[in-house]
Structure 1
Amino acid sequence: MASSALATFGGRTARAPHGCRRTPRRARTWYNERMLRARLTLALGLVLVAAGVIGFAMADRGLRIESARVGPVPLQLFRPVDDAHGAARPVVVVAHGYAGSGRLMRPFADTLARRGYLVALPDLAGHGANPERLTEQALDRELAAVVRFVRALPDADPARVALVGHSMGAAAVVRVGAADQTIAATVAISIGDDASAAVRPGPRHLLGIYGAFEPAGIGVSERATGADRVVAVPLVEHIGVLFADRTHHETARWLDRVLNHSPERSVIAAKGRLIPGGLTLLGGLLTVVGTLLLRRTATARAPLDRDRLGLRLGAVLVAPVLGELAGVALTYALPNTVTGYLTGYLAGCGSALAVAALLIRRPPRPARPALTSVGGAALLAVVTLAVVVLPVHVGLTDVVPHGPDWWVIAVLALAVGALLAGAHALLPTPWDSGAVLALCLPMPVASLIGAAPGFLALISPLIMVLIVLHLAVYAAAGRPWWQTIPAGALTVAWPVAVVLPVLGR
C-alpha cells in the first residue's frame, strides 16, 4: 500500500505516515497501537486530575480560614480548627516576594497554623488582588498596618508577633521589624543584597534562610544584618526554598523558641498544596493530549531543507540581537519593566524569523487536517489555558487578573504569538520547537549581565516550562500550526503578565 493509502476501521480513517508501506493487517495493528496509547494517556490524565483534586480537598483539613481587608490590602487569616482552649495565640504575618502573592506563601500557613499559630497572608501593593501600585513606601506602610490589625484580634497575643518574608518581602520585614522593636521575631528568606539588609539597629531575633542555588547577591547579606542565625538550605533555588522541608523546620523551631510556644502538633506541610497542584497540572495536560491523540490522523513531517539550513540557523542566531534591541526599547513602555522587555524581545525575535521566512523559500508543507472553524482554535486555547492556569492559581500563586492593567496579558500574548508564528514559518516541525526554546536561552544571560531586568533570570525557567507545555500540546494536536498559536500565546502570557506587579511611577 502506498504512503497515501488509507485504512478504515469502525468508521475511522487512519492515514499511514509518509514513506511507509502498510498492508491492511499492518495498518490495523498500527492504528490499534496508536489508539491504545491515546486511551492510556487519557486514562492516566484523568487519574492524576482526580488525585490532585482530592489532594486540594485535604489541604485545608484542620484549618479555619477567614478573609479580611486592611485598607487596600486583602488578606487571609489561618487558625487551627480546634480553638476550644481560648488562649491567646502567637501571630505570624507572612510577606510574599516580588511577583508573588499571599497564595504563594500558603505553605507557611499550612505549617504554622496547624502548630497553633494565627497566621496572616496579605497581598501587598501591586500583587494579587491589591490594586495599589508597588513602591517601597507602600510595602512598609501596608505591612505595618497588617501587623496592627492582627495584633488587635481577640485571639491574638500582642506581645508575641513575628514576621516572615521572602525576597522582596524579606527586605520589607527587616525594615518593618527594625522600625517596630515590639515585633518579637523576624525570619528573612532569600533577602537580596540591598540597603534594607544593613538597617541598624536590625529587627529582634532575626533568622536568615536562603537556598544553596540562589543567584549571586542572595543570601550573603543575612550576615550583614546581624542575624542571630543563618541557614543555607541545600539543593533549592529562589522559589524552591519556599517549599523545602528544611526551610519550614528552621522557621517553625525558631518561632517556637523565640515566642515561647509549645506547638499543638509538630506539623511540616511544605508541599501540601504544591504536590496536588503538580498532579492536577500534569493530569490536565495528559487529558488534553490524550483527547487530541484520539482525534488525530497521522501526517507527514516536512523535510528540513538542508540547502538553506545555514541561512535558517543564521536567522535564529541573529534574531536575539534584534529581540534585545526591541526589548530595551520597550522596557518602560508597559506598567512593568519585565513585561515591557519580554514583549519587545519576543516580538523582535518573532519578527526577525518571519522576515527571514519570507526571504528564504520554504519547501511545500505536507497537507494537514483542514481547519473546520475558528472555533477549534479558540476552544483549544480556552481548554489549554484552563488546564494550566487553574492548577497554578489553586496550588501555587494568584494568576487571576485584578486592577486596570489586565490588558497587558493581550499585549504579551501577541508578542509570544509572534515568536511562535515566526519559528513555525521559518522551520518545519520539530525544528521550529527547538528554535523557540533556543531563543529563550539568551534572556537569563541578558539579565545576568545587566542588559535586561534582573528579575528575568528568576522567571526565565518558568517561561521555558510554559513554552514546553505548549509545544507538547502542539505536537499532539496534529493541526495547522497557526491553529495552536492562540493556545500557546495565552498559556505563556497569562501567568507571566498577571503575577508581575504594577510599579509605582
Structure 2
Amino acid sequence: MLRARLAVAVGLLLVAAGVAGFATVGRGLRTTSVHVGAVPVELVRPDGAAAGGAARPVVVVVHGYAGSGRLMRPFADTLARRGYVVALPDLAGHGADPERLTEAALDRDLADVVRYVRGRPDVDPARVALVGHSMGAAAVVRAGAADQTIRATVAISVGDDATAAIRPGPRHLLALYGAFEPSGIGATTRATGAERVVRVRLVEHIGVLFADRTHHETARWLDQTLDHRPDRPVIAAKGRLIAGALGLAGGLMVLTGALLAWRTRDPAPPPERGRLGLRIAAVLVAPIPGEVAGVVLYRVLPNPVTGYLVGYFAGCGAALLLAALLIRGPARPARPPLAPLAFAAGFAVAALAAVALPVHFGLTDIAPHGPDWWLVALLAGATAALLAGAHAVLGPPWSYAAVLALCLPMPVASAVGAAPGFLALISPLVMVLVALHLGLCAAARASGIPWGRTVAAGALTIAWPVAVVLPIIG
C-alpha cells in the first residue's frame, strides 16, 4: 500500500508540473485561431503586437504526414518571441482539417494560407518565409519554387525525390535532416540544391523538430534572409515536449498507483505452462497470416498504414486465438458479471486519458475530426484481438514479450516493400504505446486483475493516437 500511495503522490506532482509547464510555455505570445477557407490556422505573434501595429515578417510553418499545426507549435514559440508572425495550418486530412489528403489539396491549402497572411495588416508582404517538415518540407519547396517572391524557405527532412529535383528551387533554401533518419531522407534532403545543408546530430525523424540545433539554424537563417533583427534571441524547442512528457509520466504513475492499491476478490489465474513448445510456435507463426492480411487491407482501407496495421494486428490476433482454442480446448461459456465489465471500461477511459491528453497538448492533435472515427474503432478491434490472442496463448508475463516481438516484423515488412514505407517511421511510436500499455498490465497483474479486463484499455491507448493522426487519403 505504501508504494501505491507513493506512486500516486509522485504522479500527481508530475501532472502538476506538466500543467504548470503548459501554462507558462506560451507566456509572452498572443494566439488566435482563424479559418482560411476550410483550413484551420493558428496565428501566433508577440504579445502586444496588435494587428494595427508595425508590419512584421511572417513565417508559415507546415507539418508533415500524420502531423498537425500543433506538432509544429515549438517553432512558433521560438520565432514569435523573436518578433515574427507565425501561421500554423492544419493542411488537408490532418489535425482539424477533415478534407481528404491529395498532393493537389495540400499545395492549394498552402497557397491559400500564404495569400491570406500576405494580406494581413500586421504582416510585411515582402518578407514571407516558409518552414516545412517531411511531407510539409516537400510542400514548401514546391511552393517556394513556384513563387519566387517568397524570400526564404526551410525544408526539414525532405523525402520526395521529384520535389528535391525541382530547378530552379526556392530562394534562400536551408535544408536540415536528422543524423538517425533513414539514409534515403538524408540523400534526398541533400539533393534539393539548398544553399546550406545541416545534419542535426543525435536525432531521428520526429526528434529533429525538437532539437535546439534545428531551431537555432532556422531562426538564424530567417533573421539573415528576411533582414530581421530579433526582439529576443530565444530558442524554445522543448518546452511543450517536456510539459507533455511530465504529464504523461505523471498520469501513468497515478494510474499505476491506483492499480497497485486495488485488491480483487477473484485474482488472476496462473499463466498456462503446458505444451509450451506449441504456444511459442503459435507466436512465431502468427506473423504469417498477419502479414497476408496486412498486405490485403493496406490496399483497401483509405489510409495504407492504418490498413496494414488493422490487417496485421487482426491476422496475428486471430491466429493466436485459434491456437489458444486448439491447445486449451473450448472454454465453458460464461456471462461476465457487471463489476468486471465496469472495471474494464473505467480502466480503458482512465488509461486513454493518461496517454491521449499529454500527447494531444504536448505533441500533436489527436482529437478525431471528420471521417476517422470508424478507423479508430477498426484499429481498436484489431489491437484487442492481438492482445487477447497473446494473453490467451501464453498468459502474462510471457505474453508481454510476445506482443512486443510481434511488432518487430512491421518495420522489416516496410523495408522490403511489403508494407507502406511510412510504417518504418511510425513503428517505434507504436511500440512505445504498446510498452506503456504493458507496463499498466504489469501493475494490474500485481493486484490480481485478470488480463481480460485490460484488453479494452490497450486497444484504445494504442489504436486511438495512431488511427487519428493518419489521414484519410483521397
Q: TM-score, normalised by structure 2?
A: 0.95
2: distance between equivalents of 1:303 and 1:49?
A: 35
**Pairing of 1:376-455 with structure 2 (within 5 A):** 376-455=343-422
Q: Does the 8 Å contact 2:264/2:449 carry over to 1?
A: no
2: distance between equivalents of 1:221 and 1:497?
A: 28
**Considering only aligned residues, what root-mean-square deviation do their CA atoms show, in Å?**
1.7
**Pairing of 1:41-440 with structure 2 (within 5 A):** 41-83=7-49, 86-296=53-263, 302=270, 305=273, 308-361=275-328, 372-440=339-407
Assess, with a 3 A threshold, how the Cα gap between structure 1 residues 338 and 462 changes in structure 2: closer, same or farther: same
Give, in angstroms, the shift of residue 297 of structure 1.
Answer: 5.6
Give, in angstroms, the shift of residue 474 of structure 1.
Answer: 1.4
Give, in angstroms, the shift of residue 370 of structure 1.
Answer: 8.1
Q: Does the residue aligned with 1:220 lie in a helix, a strand or coil? A: helix
* Residue 490 of structure 1: aligned partner: 460
Give, in angstroms, the shift of residue 210 of structure 1.
Answer: 0.1
2: distance between equivalents of 1:104 and 1:170?
A: 14
Assess, with a 3 A threshold, how the Cα gap between structure 1 residues 355 and 326 changes in structure 2: closer, same or farther: same
1: distance between equivalents of 2:84 and 2:268?
A: 61
Cα deviation, 1:213-249, whole Å, max 9, x if unaligned, reads 0013102123322100000000000000000000000
**Aligned residue identity for 1:492:** I
Counterpart of 2:451 (choices 481, 484, 497) is 481
2: distance between equivalents of 1:452 and 1:100?
A: 20
Q: Does the residue aligned with 1:356 lie in a helix, a strand or coil? A: helix
**Aligned residue identity for 1:154:** P
Q: Does the 8 Å contact 1:193/1:220 carry over to 2?
A: no
1: distance between equivalents of 2:257 and 2:47?
A: 41
Q: Does the residue aligned with 2:339 lie in a helix, a strand or coil? A: coil
Q: Does the 8 Å contact 1:125/1:134 carry over to 2?
A: yes
2: distance between equivalents of 1:100 and 1:223?
A: 23
1: distance between equivalents of 2:466 and 2:369?
A: 14
1: distance between equivalents of 2:442 and 2:128?
A: 52
**Aligned residue identity for 1:493:** A
Q: Does the residue aligned with 2:372 lie in a helix, a strand or coil? A: coil
Cα deviation, 1:236-276, whole Å, max 9, x if unaligned, reads 00000000000000000000000010000010000010000
Q: Does the residue aligned with 1:67 lie in a helix, a strand or coil? A: strand
Name the stretch that deviates more: 308-317 or 441-450: 308-317
Give, in angstroms, the shift of residue 301 of structure 1.
Answer: 6.6
Aligned length: 465
Q: Does the residue aligned with 2:286 lie in a helix, a strand or coil? A: helix
Q: Does the 8 Å contact 2:138/2:160 carry over to 1?
A: no
Which structure 1 segments of 5+ residues have no match? 1-34
Q: Does the 8 Å contact 2:269/2:450 carry over to 1?
A: no
Which structure 2 segments of 5+ residues have no match? none
Give, in angstroms, the shift of residue 101 of structure 1.
Answer: 0.3
Counterpart of 1:466 (choices 388, 413, 433) is 433
**Aligned residue identity for 1:501:** P
2: distance between equivalents of 1:206 and 1:373?
A: 59
Q: Does the residue aligned with 1:425 lie in a helix, a strand or coil? A: helix
1: distance between equivalents of 2:395 and 2:98?
A: 44
Moved over 4 A (4+): 297-301
Q: Does the 8 Å contact 1:301/1:428 carry over to 2?
A: no
Give, in angstroms, the shift of residue 336 of structure 1.
Answer: 0.6
Percent identity reads 72
**Aligned residue identity for 1:223:** R
* Residue 12 of structure 1: aligned partner: none
* Residue 15 of structure 1: aligned partner: none
2: distance between equivalents of 1:424 and 1:160?
A: 58
Q: Does the 8 Å contact 1:75/1:120 carry over to 2?
A: yes
* Residue 24 of structure 1: aligned partner: none
Q: Does the residue aligned with 1:78 lie in a helix, a strand or coil? A: strand
Assess, with a 3 A threshold, how the Cα gap between structure 1 residues 338 and 303 changes in structure 2: closer, same or farther: closer
Cα deviation, 1:147-185, whole Å, max 9, x if unaligned, reads 010011101011100000000000000000000000000
* Residue 469 of structure 2: aligned partner: 499
Name the stretch that deviates more: 430-439 or 403-412: 403-412
Q: Does the 8 Å contact 1:193/1:217 carry over to 2?
A: no
Q: Does the 8 Å contact 2:39/2:89 carry over to 1?
A: yes
Cα deviation, 1:378-427, whole Å, max 9, x if unaligned, reads 11111111111111111110000000231110000000000000001101
Q: Does the residue aligned with 1:158 lie in a helix, a strand or coil? A: strand
Q: Does the 8 Å contact 1:301/1:429 carry over to 2?
A: no
**Aligned residue identity for 1:45:** G
Higher Cα radius of gyration: 1
Give, in angstroms, the shift of residue 83 of structure 1.
Answer: 2.3
More helix per residue: 2
Give, in angstroms, the shift of residue 377 of structure 1.
Answer: 1.0
